[in-house]
Amino acid sequence: MGMKSANQSSQERQTNMHLGKDKDAKGTWVTYRPEIKIHDCTVRDGGLINDHKFDDGFVKAVYDACVAAGVDYMEVGYKADKKIFAPSDFGAWKFCDEDAMRRVIGEKAPSIKLSAMADAERTDYHNDILPREKSVLDCIRVATYIHQIPTAIDMIKDAHDKGYETTINLMAVSTVRDAEIVDALETIAQSPVGTVYLVDSFGALYSEQVRYLTLTYLRAIEGTGKQVGIHAHNNQMLAYANTIEALIVGANRLDATINGMGRGAGNCPLELLIGFLKNPKFHLRPVLECIQNVFLPLNQKMEWGYSIPYMITGWLNEHPRAAIKTRAGSKKDDYVAFYDQMVEEE
């Protein structure tokens, strides 16, 4: 047997293990893994389009849809440092002050957990993240690049000690060497974090890479009780497929957004993910209703989702900032000029 075939067989065995398959694959696709949790990121990731200036009605509509749909977590925005980001330049969901969250959401509902994201080196986490008993939040998600891992670990410890569930979202892994990823995961595995997220920040990864990386993450946290999650961007229209690939091999924490809303090309659409999962606790109709009543009108004012410039940046494994700038300009559909520009810069 060739090396490629041997590797494929090994991966298939690991996939079968995570799916609970033994000798027979019958019934796999008519059952579900109850440990799978959905994390809605609509307001947080969508806020990157409009500097987090969503009105209260929009955030409430997303919240109500998530509750009705049986979603496990809703991310309401960022906990950003006001000394770095002027509140006059951003909406309330850049900071997620308690009064803003309580004004829209009220006290914590028993059917859904709330989270906020804290960027490494951009959050005054000692002061702005309150003890868990004083907050409506249940989970703090720390977003970090590979070189910020020491700070991120300290942030995780701080949030954990304050009583929160925690995730660490290792960003832009498509640009990081395998050995560095393994070293980072080894350090993360020794922290008190609950979930380690594979983040395809540039929408550059293909399913084979997602499979390989998910298995790498799973090996790193084996025996720790931690979970692996996936946060995918849709530059090459693979966010949904890559999310499915990760869950098949064992990722149990799945990020998604309503109507795929998110920075640039957006994210894995929540409605597709709910349609795929067989768990009867998830309900599709409330999400479709929210899309029809809220997102379709909003899409006339705000742009998100797949377009050729985002495909090009994903294909080149580049941050989508150049594509975002082009889509906001007067020549947003001059795809050839954008392609020539990006290829020339490579």
Q: For tokens 């008993």, what's the residue?
A: 133
Strands 37-40 and 139-144: unpaired
Q: For tokens 């969901």, what's the residue?
A: 93
pLDDT in tens, 105-117: 888 777 899 999 9
Per-residue pLDDT of the chain (346 residues; tens, 9 = 90+): 333 333 444 444 444 444 444 444 445 566 789 999 999 999 999 999 999 999 999 999 999 999 999 999 999 999 999 999 999 999 999 999 999 999 998 887 778 999 999 999 999 999 999 999 999 999 999 999 999 999 999 999 999 999 999 999 999 999 999 999 999 999 999 999 999 999 999 999 999 999 999 999 999 999 999 999 999 999 999 999 999 999 999 999 999 999 999 999 999 999 999 999 999 999 999 999 999 999 999 999 999 999 999 999 999 999 999 999 999 999 999 999 999 999 998 7
- In angstroms, the CA 35 to CA 331 distance is 46
Domain limits, the chain:
31-298, 308-345
Task: Identify whether the C-beta of residue 235 lies closer than 8 Å to the C-beta of residue 202.
Answer: yes
End-to-end CA distance of the chain: give it in Å, rounded.
39
For 278, residues 6+ apart whose C-beta sits below 8 A from its C-beta are 29, 30, 31, 32
Q: What does the CA dihedral 66, 67, 72, 77 come to, rounded to 10 degrees?
A: 50
* Burial (CB count <10 Å: 0-12, 13-18, 19+), residue 156: buried
pTM over 0.75: yes
Task: Identify whether the C-beta of residue 166 lies closer than 8 Å to the C-beta of residue 194.
Answer: yes
- In angstroms, the CA 194 to CA 275 distance is 27
Please tell me the class of the 31-298 domain: alpha beta
pLDDT computed for residue 331 by the predictor: 92
